[in-house]
Amino acid sequence: MRLLEYQGKELFAKAGIPVPKGRVTASVDEAVTIMREAPAPSVVKAQVLIGGRGKAGGIKFCSNAEDVKEPARAILGMRIANAQNPQGEVAKRVWIEQRLDIDKEMYLSITVDRASKRPIVIASSVGGMDIEEVAHTNPGAIVKRTIDPATGYWPYIGRSIAKEAAMPLGVMAQFSSILGKLYDLFFSAGALLLEINPLAITKDGKLIASDAKVEIDDNGLFRHPEFDAWKTAGEEDPLKARAVKAGLGENNYVGLSGDVGIIGNGAGLVMATLDAVTSAGGKPANFLDVGGGARADLMRDAVDIVTSNPNVKSLFINIFGGITRGDEVANGLVAALQGGSWSTDKLVIRLTGTNEKEGRAVLEQHGIAAVETMNEGARVAVDLAKK
């Protein structure tokens, strides 16, 4: 679960990390009120998860109740897109915060380092731009340090990072304190990513989080009812919301831009299926893993969800029988499909595992195209989509 900037800053503020004063709103009128109550040079920022909002015109300036109207009007409802996500995202809220008098922009984040199995701090005295860009143009300016949860964070760690990153000596203690609070927040909030970019040094020498990028681990959300109000699962993708509602995990449905609907059991198998469809010249419309068991009712929901995507032109169901026998799986699939509205004409099922031949026979008896291999199924599905 990713947080919008204003949510992240609220989280930071509660953790004692300095953030600029600001308020969020979804209306121009309220934006005017906000500026009337605190007339000061301010920034109006589109609240979207997508990157590149600045370039897209999602960040504008104002200084009083009058001149906030135009930027608020312009940004609220604006669709912001970028190269990775051409569909983009609509800004439903703006965050209006007081402008900082910034002397220098730095970078700080904590995320999970899979190789060391530890949290990793990434810091740079060069910030305000994409850290991968810094890594590319100025790799020496980036300091990475993993922290052993067993010994935890101690202020000297922050001081040595500040020193190594050649941050100004005057902010060493502040930096160490902010990093300590960020580290505590990383665990207490169950975060996968806490990023402050830029971490600004103001003209009067204070460190302040000028932006906030936060991702919370979905698996840990059950411990955090306080985030319930911020859950936007599927707000951008109603099909994902339906998948979650049907009992699938947060990651089991992923919407994609193609036209071949895909359902399989097991994440690795589904990924391999997507790859097979792509190899066969097709474009997957989605990733959907029904899980190891593949119960009939869940399979029916899965078919309904995938096929209600108007882009879907064909459906490829790829099941490995596993513990259950192939004929039993086939009977389950038949039951699932008979109740649904999807035509068996645009459907191909690949079924393998024990008793796979018997399984395929059951499917064919019910007029369902059954194939033997994943690659064959992919080819058929791509052909069906092109018809």
Binding residue for other proteins, selected from 140, 205, 292, 367, defined by CB under 8 A: 292
- Is 13 within 8 Å of 32 (Cβ atoms)? no
Site track for other proteins across 337-356, x = CB under 8 A = ---------------xxx--
Binding residue for other proteins, selected from 69, 99, 118, 366, defined by CB under 8 A: 118
3-state SS of the chain is CEECHHHHHHHHHHCCCCCCCEEEECCHHHHHHHHHHCCCCEEEEECCCCCCCCCCCCEEEECCCCCCHHHHHHHCCCEECCCCCCCCEECCCEEEEECCCEEEEEEEEEEEECCCCEEEEEEECCCCCCHHHHHHHCHHHEEEEECCCCCCCCHHHHHHHHHHCCCCHHHHHHHHHHHHHHHHHHHHCCEEEEEEEEEEEECCCCEEECCCEEEECHHHHHHCHHHHHHCCCCCCCHHHHHHHHCCCCCCCEEECCCCEEEEECCHHHHHHHHHHHHHCCCCECEEEECCCCCCHHHHHHHHHHHHCCCCCCEEEEEEECCCCCHHHHHHHHHHHHHHCCCCHHHEEEEEECCCHHHHHHHHHHCCCEEECCHHHHHHHHHHHHHC
**Which span sits near other proteins by CB under 8 A: 73-81, 165-173, 306-314, 328-336?**
165-173
**Which span sits near other proteins by CB under 8 A: 12-20, 30-38, 67-75, 158-166?**
158-166
Min separation Cβ 266 and other proteins, Å: 3
**Which span sits near other proteins by CB under 8 A: 18-26, 74-82, 212-220, 334-342?**
212-220
Q: Is 97 a catalytic residue?
A: no
**Which span sits near other proteins by CB under 8 A: 56-64, 97-105, 166-174, 295-303?**
166-174
When asked if residue 156 is in the footprint of other proteins (CB under 8 A), the reply is yes
Nearer to other proteins, 208 or 274 (CB): 274
Site for other proteins in 312-331 (CB under 8 A): 320-323
When asked if residue 144 is in the footprint of other proteins (CB under 8 A), the reply is no
Q: Kindly tell me the sign of the dihedral angle through the C-alpha atoms of 24, 27, 33, 36.
A: positive
When asked if residue 170 is in the footprint of other proteins (CB under 8 A), the reply is yes
Identified catalytic residue from 10, 89, 105, 107: 107
Nearer to other proteins, 63 or 227 (CB): 227
When asked if residue 119 is in the footprint of other proteins (CB under 8 A), the reply is yes
When asked if residue 375 is in the footprint of other proteins (CB under 8 A), the reply is yes
Q: Is 5 a catalytic residue?
A: no
Binding residue for other proteins, selected from 223, 231, 245, 386, defined by CB under 8 A: 223
Report, as residue numbers or ranges, the catalytic residues: 107, 195
* Binding positions for other proteins, rule: CB under 8 A: 84, 112, 114-115, 117-119, 131-132, 148-152, 154-156, 159-160, 163, 169-170, 172-173, 186-187, 190, 192, 217, 219-220, 222-223, 249-252, 254, 256, 264-272, 274-279, 284, 287, 289, 292, 320-323, 352-354, 373-375
